């Protein structure tokens, strides 16, 4: 039957079945061998029949001034976990890492974390103030900021709470949910040092307070040493203006450090001579240990990795034979020097192949190409950074900290790949 | 007068800095002049805060608990409140003035915030007199119980980080590895049937 329509139906495959683990038998045969005998003899109708897109005209260049993904990719979206928070306005959603490749996160898929929703700001009415221990307290417009020398830098941004739901054990079935509070984009912005120098730092200044313009007026204390090192005040991501949910028109970039410090809708920088002990560095973003004491100022995001495919949302549907194992690795301490992958739950390891640019404090993409014999796999990845830190096991972290830290869980993740190709989040002995 | 290398931007006026510079440090730097009593704070709290945080700061539904939880920080399920966990009173004043009530931030006067802060001290047994008045003058005399129990980031001293030798590559565990725990058993992933279930380590 030939459908004479220029419109593409939304036939995005549903992943619900895989999420609930109710996939039944995953496809273990290829499409070619699944064809009935007669059809196989006649050939694949995808080839032997003339398709609509081969006959009728498609849309013109005037149809989509701002393009969107194919409707067949409609399942590649941010998702949230309703029970995590009291209200979706002060909440988080997750990047679909299992569907992505390379190291750049598309702007529309970058996970969101707000404390008072997405501020809608007219850039003409946005101001950046510098005050405190400076020679000249200053106010900048967005136009002023566009006149400073700029830099472009690729950095990961990871929420301190990424993987936080897994401290007590395997809980969420999908790397989107266990590891998806991370993204990596190219920022265009002004080195923070240039702006601070413009105001003239007094010698007594040792700390910087960054503040957002939204209804949470997010504030974090940052050591001045870090502010002068590699922080940016950014107005573009992946070449275009920041998305509103990522801080439009202005955000702070704090490379390698926990995402909470990357203040969005940035409106003020205050120089002081002591930390400010704001809510987000006392009540929150402090790490409770087993003995009831807590660490504060745990800024750096430690060395970490995860296999993004196969994973619970990306089961193996092609049966035995060549299988691409891929994932991401990153470290707030610099570059990733190596990623090892285990197929047997950490008994034996082989070094994976890093592919693409290796940039400091950015995501790294790794691959291990194997010939799968169809037996059960217990997949793990273990990253090592240029400082020599080795990604720890979850058990090592629990032994050192207990299970109530919430933040900074960079433990090694295990996926169980069953013989039928279904994948599950598990913990192993 | 010109400033800096580029002479971009302009000098902020004192009024502009005062409008935005509302942060308060533990040493009291930034506190505005003002005062408020526990009983005045109870009135404001009951009208504007209790619907989310509970009449006694116990929290309604999933909203944050503000009072109690004493002695629970080393429990299996710690209860982290202003009284049991927060190190500094300055953070209470600063955060309430900055971001509360949720959805109507910046609506409380400086005196209102002193009163609500006084009431939170009362709910957490730091003060016991309903006539107690908190002000910019006596503010720094009041300390929260958990202040001494915070320490600097010493993660680098943990065994797994202190040892930067080459990690094991072969036969790293004695026998075959067994699965100890499964996410599917818990079944709280969205799209599962019981997605409303409470999990551990919730973000807030």
In tens, the pLDDT along B27-64 reads 999 999 999 999 999 999 999 999 999 999 999 988 99
Length reported for chain B: 204
| Pairing label, strands B133-135, A127-132 | unpaired
> Considering CB atoms only, which of A81, A294, A390 is closest to B167?
A390
Closest-CA distance of chain A to residue B58, Å: 15
Is B15 touching A (CB cutoff 8 A)? no
CB A414 within 8 A of CB A426: yes
Closest-CA distance of chain B to residue A299, Å: 8
Q: Select from B167, B84, B94 the least CA-distant residue to A303.
A: B167
Is B155 touching A (CB cutoff 8 A)? yes
Domain count, chain A: 2
**The predicted structure's pLDDT at residue A82:** 87
A7 within some domain: no
> Considering CB atoms only, which of A215, A295, A392 is closest to B151?
A295
Task: Catalogue the long-range contacts made by B47-50 (C-beta closer than 8 Å, 24 or more residues apart).
Answer: B48/B101, B48/B104, B48/B108, B49/B100, B49/B101, B49/B116
**The predicted structure's pLDDT at residue A87:** 85
Length reported for chain A: 429
To the nearest whole number, what is the mean pLDDT of chain B? Answer: 92
A107 and A236 assigned to the same domain: yes
> Considering CB atoms only, which of A168, A276, A349 is closest to B201?
A168
With an 8 Å Cβ cutoff, are B85 and A283 in contact? yes
A285 and A161 assigned to the same domain: yes
**The predicted structure's pLDDT at residue B186:** 75
Is B178 touching A (CB cutoff 8 A)? yes
Q: What is the pLDDT of residues B5-21, one digit of tens each?
A: 999 999 999 999 999 99
Task: Report the pLDDT averaged over residues B68-96.
Answer: 97
A310 and A246 assigned to the same domain: no
- Domain closes at, from A295, A316, A331: A295
With an 8 Å Cβ cutoff, are B5 and A219 in contact? no
**The predicted structure's pLDDT at residue A86:** 84
CB A113 within 8 A of CB A159: yes
With an 8 Å Cβ cutoff, are B160 and A397 in contact? yes
Closest-CA distance of chain A to residue B128, Å: 23
Q: Which sign does the torsion angle of CA B176, B177, B180, B182 carry?
A: negative
| Pairing label, strands A364-372, B35-37 | unpaired
With an 8 Å Cβ cutoff, are B177 and A19 in contact? no
**The predicted structure's pLDDT at residue A38:** 58
A264 within some domain: yes
**The predicted structure's pLDDT at residue A37:** 57
A409 and A263 assigned to the same domain: no
Cα–Cα distance, A156 to A329 (Å, whole number): 10
Contacts of A92 in chain B (CB under 8 A): 203
Q: Select from B81, B108, B189 the least CA-distant residue to A21.
A: B189
Q: What percent of chain B has pLDDT over 90?
A: 87
With an 8 Å Cβ cutoff, are B99 and A116 in contact? yes
Contacts of A424 in chain B (CB under 8 A): 182-184
Is B2 touching A (CB cutoff 8 A)? no
Beta bridge partners of A309: A326
A359 and A222 assigned to the same domain: no
**The predicted structure's pLDDT at residue A272:** 98
Task: Report the pLDDT averaged over residues B109-132.
Answer: 98
**The predicted structure's pLDDT at residue A274:** 98
With an 8 Å Cβ cutoff, are B4 and A197 in contact? yes
> Considering CB atoms only, which of B21, B52, B179 is closest to A426?
B179
> Considering CB atoms only, which of B4, B63, B164 is closest to A198?
B4
A190 and A224 assigned to the same domain: yes
Closest-CA distance of chain A to residue B95, Å: 6
Closest-CA distance of chain A to residue B166, Å: 9
A284 and A326 assigned to the same domain: no
- Domain closes at, from A295, A322, A355: A295
Closest-CA distance of chain B to residue A181, Å: 12
A291 and A330 assigned to the same domain: no
Tell me the three state secondary structure of residue A37: helix
What part of B 91-150 touches A (C-beta under 8 Å)? Answer: 91, 94-95, 98-99, 102-103, 105, 149-150
pTM above 0.85, yes or no: yes
A290 and A311 assigned to the same domain: no
Q: Rg for chain B (alpha carbons), in Å?
A: 24
> Considering CB atoms only, which of A170, A215, A278 is closest to B183?
A170
Cα–Cα distance, B185 to B196 (Å, whole number): 15
Whether the pLDDT of residue B89 is over 50: the answer is yes
Residue in chain A nearest B4 by alpha carbon: A198
Closest-CA distance of chain B to residue A169, Å: 7
A316 within some domain: yes
**Structure tokens of B111?**
């005196």
Contacts of B91 in chain A (CB under 8 A): 277-279, 282-283
- Domain closes at, from A267, A295, A323: A295
A195 within some domain: yes
CATH code of the domain in which A161 resides: 3.90.420.10
With an 8 Å Cβ cutoff, are A135 and B203 in contact? no
A197 within some domain: yes
**The predicted structure's pLDDT at residue A41:** 78
Task: Catalogue the long-range contacts made by A120-124 (C-beta closer than 8 Å, 24 or more residues apart).
Answer: A120/A244, A121/A213, A121/A244, A121/A248, A121/A249, A121/A265, A123/A248, A123/A249
Give the best residue of A347, A417, A418 to mutate against chain B (max B CB count within 10 A): A347
> Considering CB atoms only, which of A139, A161, A274 is closest to B25?
A274
Contacts of B151 in chain A (CB under 8 A): 293-296
| Pairing label, strands A266-272, A207-212 | antiparallel
What confidence tier does B175 reach under pLDDT thresholds 50, 70, 90? confident
What part of B 52-71 touches A (C-beta under 8 Å)? Answer: 52, 61-64
Residue in chain B nearest A341 by alpha carbon: B169
A269 and A365 assigned to the same domain: no
A134 and A221 assigned to the same domain: yes
CATH code of the domain in which A363 resides: 2.60.40.650
Closest-CA distance of chain A to residue B130, Å: 26
> Considering CB atoms only, which of A384, A397, A425 is closest to B183?
A425
> Considering CB atoms only, which of B12, B161, B182 is closest to A424?
B182
Closest-CA distance of chain B to residue A175, Å: 11
Give the best residue of B145, B191, B195 to mutate against chain A (max A CB count within 10 A): B191
With an 8 Å Cβ cutoff, are B88 and A19 in contact? no
Q: A133: domain range? A: 90-295
Q: What is the mean pLDDT of each run of 10 residues along chain A (429 residues)?
A: 39 39 40 54 94 97 98 97 86 96 98 97 98 98 98 98 95 96 98 98 98 97 98 98 98 98 98 98 98 98 98 98 98 98 98 98 98 98 98 97 97 98 97
Establish whether the linkage from the previous residue to A309 is cis, with ω within 30° of 0: no
A34 within some domain: no
A81 within some domain: no
**The predicted structure's pLDDT at residue A64:** 97
SS3 for A60-111, per residue? CCCCCCCCCCCHHHCCCCCEECHHHCCCCCCCEEECCHHHCCCCCCCHHHCC
Cβ-based contacts under 8 A for chains A and B: 310
A327 and A241 assigned to the same domain: no
A79 within some domain: no
Tell me the three state secondary structure of residue A224: helix
């Amino acid at each position: 039957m030939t459908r004479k329509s220029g419109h593409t139906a939304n036939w995005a495959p549903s992943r619900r079945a895989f999420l609930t683990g109710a996939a039944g038998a995953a496809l273990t045969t290829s499409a070619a061998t699944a064809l009935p005998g007669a059809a196989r003899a006649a050939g694949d109708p995808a080839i032997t029949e003339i398709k609509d897109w081969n006959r009728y005209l498609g849309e013109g260049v005037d149809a989509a001034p701002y393009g969107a993904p194919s409707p067949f990719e409609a399942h590649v979206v941010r998702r949230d976990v309703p029970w995590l928070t009291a209200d979706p306005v002060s909440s988080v959603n997750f990047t679909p890492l299992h569907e992505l490749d390379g190291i750049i996160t598309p702007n529309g898929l970058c996970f969101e974390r707000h404390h008072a929703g997405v501020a809608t700001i007219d850039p003409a009415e946005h101001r950046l103030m510098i005050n405190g221990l400076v020679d000249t307290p200053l106010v900048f417009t967005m136009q002023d900021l566009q006149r400073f020398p700029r830099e472009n830098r690729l950095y990961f941004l990871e929420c301190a709470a990424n993987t936080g739901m897994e401290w007590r054990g395997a809980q969420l079935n999908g790397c989107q949910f266990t590891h998806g509070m991370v993204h990596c984009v190219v920022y265009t912005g002004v080195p923070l040092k240039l702006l601070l120098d413009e105001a003239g730092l007094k010698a007594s200044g040792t700390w910087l307070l960054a503040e957002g313009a939204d209804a949470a007026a997010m504030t974090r204390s940052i050591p001045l040493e870090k502010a002068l090192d590699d922080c940016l005040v950014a107005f573009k991501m992946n070449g275009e203006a920041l998305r509103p949910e990522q801080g439009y028109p202005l955000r702070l970039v704090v490379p390698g450090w926990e995402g909470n410090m990357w203040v969005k809708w940035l409106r003020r920088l205050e120089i002081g001579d002591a930390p400010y002990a704001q809510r987000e560095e006392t009540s929150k973003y402090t790490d409770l240990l087993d003995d009831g004491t807590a660490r504060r100022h745990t800024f750096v995001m430690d060395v970490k990795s995860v296999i993004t495919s196969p994973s619970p949302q990306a089961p193996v549907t092609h049966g035995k034979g060549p299988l691409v194992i891929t994932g991401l690795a990153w470290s707030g301490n610099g570059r990733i020097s190596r990623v090892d992958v285990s197929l047997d739950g950490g008994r034996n390891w082989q070094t994976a192949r890093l592919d693409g640019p290796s940039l400091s404090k950015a995501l790294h993409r790794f691959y291990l190409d194997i010939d799968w014999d169809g037996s059960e796999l217990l997949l793990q990845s273990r990253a090592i950074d240029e400082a020599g830190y080795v990604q720890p096991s979850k058990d090592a972290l629990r032994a050192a900290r207990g299970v109530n830290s919430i933040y900074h869980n960079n433990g090694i993740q295990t996926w169980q790949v069953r013989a039928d190709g279904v994948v599950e989040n598990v913990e192993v002995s | 007068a010109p400033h800096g290398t580029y002479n971009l931007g302009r000098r902020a006026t004192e009024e502009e800095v005062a409008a935005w510079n509302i942060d308060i440090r533990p040493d009291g730097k930034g506190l505005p002049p003002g005062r408020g009593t526990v009983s005045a704070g109870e009135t404001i709290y009951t009208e504007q805060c209790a619907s989310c945080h509970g009449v006694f700061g116990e929290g309604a539904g999933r909203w944050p608990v503000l009072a109690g939880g004493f002695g629970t920080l080393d429990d299996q399920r710690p209860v982290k409140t202003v009284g049991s966990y927060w190190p500094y009173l300055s953070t209470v004043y600063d955060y309430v003035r900055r971001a509360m009530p949720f959805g109507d931030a910046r609506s409380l006067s400086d005196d209102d915030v002193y009163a609500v802060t006084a009431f939170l001290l009362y709910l957490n047994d730091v003060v016991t007199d309903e006539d107690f008045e908190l002000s910019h003058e006596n503010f720094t005399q009041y300390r929260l119980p958990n202040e001494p129990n915070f320490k600097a980031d010493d993660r680098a001293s943990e065994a797994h980080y202190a040892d930067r030798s080459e990690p094991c590559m072969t036969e790293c565990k004695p026998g075959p590895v067994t699965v100890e725990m499964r996410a599917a058993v818990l079944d709280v992933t969205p799209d599962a049937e019981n997605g409303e279930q409470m999990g551990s380590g919730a973000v807030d």
